[in-house]
Amino acid sequence: MTTPFLPVFSCTLSVQLSHPLTGQSYTLLRADELPLTHQRAVEVAAVCNEPLVYDRLFRARRQGRPYAVGEGEDFLTWAAAGWRNGTHFVFLLLDPEQRVAGALDVKSPEREAGEVGYWLGGAHRGIMTSALLAMLDAAREAGFVRLWARPDADNARSLALLERAGFGTFAPAEVAANTAYLERHL
C-alpha cells in the first residue's frame, strides 16, 4: 500500500519576478495569500474575457457567454480552497500595480504526475516563463518529481513557453485529439 503524497509548499510564498522586457516587478504568490475581494474577481474576469484567453479556455464551456465577475469570485474561492484541502495549488501573478495578471496551477497532489495549467493577460506577455519557472521551483521544493501539461497542439505560444521551461514531449496511454503532451522531471 502506498502512502498518499502530501506536498509541503512554503506556508507563505511570494516570489518577486522582473519582466525581461520592461524590468517591471511582478509578484507570484499562493492564491490563499490574497484576500478575496470584488475587485480581484473583476480583475480575473477581465483577463478571462481577453480574446486569446477566452477563446482557448472558456468559449466552448461558456457557449460564447462572457466570463462573469461571479465566476471570478468562484475561481478565487476554489483556488484558496485547494490550498486548504491539499487538492490543487493555484498561484496568482500580480502586475506592478498588484492587480491579477494571470494564474498558474498544479492541478493535483500527484507527486509524479501533477498537471500544470496557466493563463495570462495579453498586456503582460513575456513574464510567463519566469512565473512558470518560479512555480516549478516551488513544486520541486514541495516534493513533486514530475509535472506535465497538455496544451492544444496548435497553441504555439503555450508550446514555446513549456519548451523554454524545460518540458519535453511524451506519449501518454490515452491521447485526446488536438492535444500535445509535455512533461518535465524536477
Instruction: Identify whether the C-beta of residue 19 lies closer than 8 Å to the C-beta of residue 67.
Output: no
- The model carries a pTM of 0.93
The pair phi, psi for residue 119, each rounded to 5°, is: -150, 155
What cell does 174 get? 490515452
Q: What is the pLDDT of residues 57-74, one digit of tens each?
A: 999 999 999 999 999 999
User: Domains in the chain, please, with CATH?
Assistant: 14-185 (3.40.630.30)
Q: What is the pLDDT of residues 102-128, one digit of tens each?
A: 999 999 999 898 999 999 999 999 999
Beta-carbon count within 10 A of 18 CB? 12
